Amino acid sequence: MALKKINPIQTQAWENLQEHFKTIKNKKMVEMFQEDDGRVDKFHIKWNKFYIDYSKNRLDDTTKKLLLELCKEVDLKDAIKKQFEGKIINVTENRAAAHTKLRSLNKPKEVEAALEKMKIFSEKLIHGEWKGATNKTIQHVVNIGVGGSDLGSQMVLEALTAYQNHLQVHFVSNIDGDHVHEVLKKIDVERTVFIVVSKSFATQETLSNAITIKKWFANNDFTEDDISRHFVAVSANNEKAKNFGILEENIFPMWDWVGGRFSLWSAVGLAICCGIGYKNFTELLGGAQQMDEHFESTPFDENIPVILALISIWYNNFFETETEAVIPYSQYLQKFIPYLQQGVMESNGKNIDRNGKKVDYQTGNIIWGEPGTNAQHAFFQLIHQGTKLVPCDFIGFKQSVHGNKEHHHKLMANFFAQTEAFLCGKSRKTIEKEISHLSVEEQEKIKAYKCFEGNKPSNTILIDQLSPETLGSLIALYEHKLFVQGVIWNIYSYDQWGVELGKQLASSILQQIDKGEIKEDLDPSTKSLLQEFFAK
């Protein structure tokens, strides 16, 4: 019951798209709007608290029709069905990718049990019922993890800062000892609970940091028995967690059918639950569940993740853009971009297809960005007047969280203005009018530099307000988008073998560093670098 193995470039739809691309690649979007009064009505989706405008893209009715035909030829509907049924679609690791079960209305019993355990634990911390070894209440929570065991929780808590309670949540992820030191400076050891998040309880970065913190804990006059009052775990390896000193009742589960980068919805999100409270955590799950339902049941021509995925494929594989920018007009969403970088690039950065053959077309997208309006004063120059075509997703909100209308109106004025500027640019005629007061010589000198070609594509995602519910929907939207892309590209989105190679080599090099010996089989560059390192 695995996913079907259909090479997209061998489909009739792909061939038709290639022919169609020749006729549309140089067409101006402004002309498309002039030729079709109903363009906005046709190329937008209104759903729940979301309004998606994708009319500012270099596509027309034919493009959309052919992209939807591509969905049929690769049998996207069957792939979506299999994912929601929990079939083993991560074939190379022999696993399901059933993270949607974590937020479904009919959750598995083990998920319900884990959520109840998270509720009890988080409420004990929040209400001061959980006491440390010196009988003091908890003020700090430190999440010790890396990758999916860190980034998702960090992103959500920063995005929902306005919903946080009195608990101060910190994150230790990088194996950099300076990073650990700086976090430990901020906390009161007597009032801190540490959450060690590792499926295997053997991840080098996480375990090294946990052991360092455990030693620091002991150096503050705490005993081995006190560990149980200050350390809990989220892991699939109960024995290793217990050997560390964590009580079995304080170990929260992880499952093979949940990939790390999709795990914030599970007990991996325990830090979220502590920081914003269980009720807000369930609203986050509820928002994701609503997007799941939309994705699973909505026809593809009105399906937000499907449409955005198809647009992304259109640019990546036909315009050969390679990158796309995500620009949220909310400082709260600063970590949303690195979160998407992990989700998208770890999932779809593959060059072997589901047939085991090397692909001969582009997969994956390089995701980058920064919140507006900061982005406008940084890299927008390249998008406006550079030589590269960069499709953009603009994410904005009708209302601010704290209700400062003056600031929010200025923010959103920039939000709307930039998408208009990308579309329309600035013509030579307009510039000539602006600089008509200058001499002819001065006009000729600067005219070309002030021109903006426009015709830069963008999607606009306009949401009522940032909340746990709408954030859940937004995250799930991009999860499903990357899945659709992976299905069409005929790759396995849910394995991550590329993460492992560096870890294996690091283990070997660490042994050489510890012994002060350099192996002869190292490449010349790495050998030279190690020699320089030893000379410090």
Q: Please identify every residue annotated as catalytic.
A: 346, 377, 503
The secondary structure element, H or E, covering residue 461 is strand 458-465
Query: What gap in Å lies between CA 30 and CA 299, rounded to an integer?
Result: 28
User: Of 383, 377, 364, which Cα lies nearest the Cα of 455?
Assistant: 383
Query: What gap in Å lies between CA 471 and CA 265, rounded to an integer?
Result: 12
140 strand-pairing partners: 168, 192
* Token pair recorded at residue 396: 């904005």
Look-up of token digits 């021109």:
451
The secondary structure element, H or E, covering residue 69 is helix 61-73
- Inter-residue contact 105 to 286 (CB < 8 Å): no
Q: Residue 122 to residues 91, 149, 254, 270: CA-CA distances in angstroms? A: 36, 18, 18, 8
DSSP string spanning 94-150?
Answer: TB---GGGGGSSS--HHHHHHHHHHHHHHHHHHTT-SB-TTSPBP-EEEEE--GGGT
350 Cβ contact list (under 8 Å, min separation 6): 359, 363, 364, 486, 489, 491, 492, 493
Look-up of token digits 């209440």:
137
Q: CA angle, corner 77, sides to 71 and 82, nearest 5?
A: 135
For 235-335, strand residue ranges (E) read 251-252, 323-328
Three-class secondary structure of residue 347 per DSSP: helix
Backbone angles phi, psi at 523, to 5 degrees: -65, 155
Query: What gap in Å lies between CA 393 and CA 89, rounded to an integer?
Result: 29
DSSP secondary structure code for residue 317 in this structure:
I
The CB-side HSE value for 419 (13 A sphere, CA atoms) comes to 23
**Other C-beta atoms lying within 10 Å of the C-beta of residue 401:** 16
Q: Residue 490 to residues 76, 95, 399: CA-CA distances in angstroms? A: 11, 17, 40
Indicate the pairing of strand 458-465 with strand 50-53: antiparallel
* Token pair recorded at residue 197: 């998040």
The secondary structure element, H or E, covering residue 52 is strand 50-53
Q: Which residues of 89-118 are buried (b: 16+ CB within 10 A; e: fewer)?
A: bbeeeebbbbbbbbbbeebeeebeebbebb
Backbone angles phi, psi at 398, to 5 degrees: -65, -35
